[in-house]
Amino acid sequence: MEIGVMVIFWYGILHAFGPDHLTAIADFSIGRDAKKTFMTVSAFAIGHGLMLFAFAKMLEHVAIPESITAYGDIIASSVIVSIGIYLLYMVARNKIHLRSHIHDNKRHVHIWFGDEHAHNEGVNDTSALGIGMLMGIGGVRGMLVTLGMMEGQSIDATMILAFIAGVMVVFIAFGWVIWWVNKDILTNIRNVRRAFATVGAVSIIVGGNMLLA
């Protein structure tokens, strides 16, 4: 069991380094404070792990052809492209706003989506959980390889917690990088719109390349 847990943990780390996952974390974390960044990346990692766990348990009893699991990559890629299109749309329509104020001698920056007087923050913890689950479908083929390495071992909650832990190591580290960008660079509306346009374009490029691969 210990070997299986370590394999799953390292698989989670390697899995999280995929360009689609890092792109998704950038999409979720851009413009958010440290607490909200941690909550969204955690929700994404949990949703991702739960979906892979569900497929892993299914694969213990049902053989799924690779031609079917390949559709998981299409779904994950489509999610990334859709997020990119959404972000570029919000930038083009001037629906991303910034307001700053001083509180307890510290400067606080608030970034929100929608109308100027609305406060829709875009991706929240619930939607990050759902998107993480959708993108988890794209990891099914990788999970098949990992399961082959652990032949004879049943997948249990301990293993999926190990996978989530491995994913979160990378996601949280990358989330802190994005938070530093939020804190030190996203201090005016021009930089905010440039940053969102950049991550939106990167999302479309990364997701598009995956769809064409």
> pLDDT class for 175, splitting at 50, 70, 90?
confident
Mean pLDDT of the region 90-109: 75
| pTM score, whole prediction | 0.76
User: With 90 as the cut, is the pLDDT of residue 204 above it?
Assistant: yes
Instruction: Look at 166 and 154; give whichever has higher pLDDT.
Output: 166
| pLDDT tens digits, 34-82 | 778 888 888 888 887 778 777 766 766 776 666 666 677 788 888 889 9
Tokens 């994404």, located at residue: 44
List, in order, residues 6 or more apart from 201 with CB less than 8 Å away.
Answer: 84, 88
Identify the CA nearest to 170 among candidates 22, 36, 55: 22
Residues 6+ apart with CB under 8 A from 141: 66, 69, 70, 72, 73
- d(CA 12, CA 142) in angstroms, rounded, equals 10
Predicted confidence band of residue 118 (pLDDT cuts 50, 70, 90): low
User: Hey, where are the domains in the chain?
Assistant: 2-212
- pLDDT for 198 beyond 90: yes
Q: What size, in residues, is the chain? A: 213
Could you give the CA distance from residue 14 to residue 93 in angstroms, rounded to a whole number?
A: 37
Q: What is the CA radius of gyration of the chain?
A: 18
Amino acid at 27: D
Please write the tens of the pLDDT for every residue from 125-135.
667 788 888 77
Q: How far apart are CA 26 and CA 28, in angstroms?
A: 5
Which one of 58-72, 105-119, 159-173 scores highest in mean pLDDT? Answer: 159-173
pLDDT at 1 over 60: no
pLDDT for res 26 = 85
- pLDDT class for 186, splitting at 50, 70, 90? confident
pLDDT at site 149: 47
Question: HSE-up of 3 (CA within 13 Å, CB side)?
Answer: 7
pLDDT above 70 as % of the chain? 73
CA-CA distance, 109 to 104, in Å (whole number)? 13
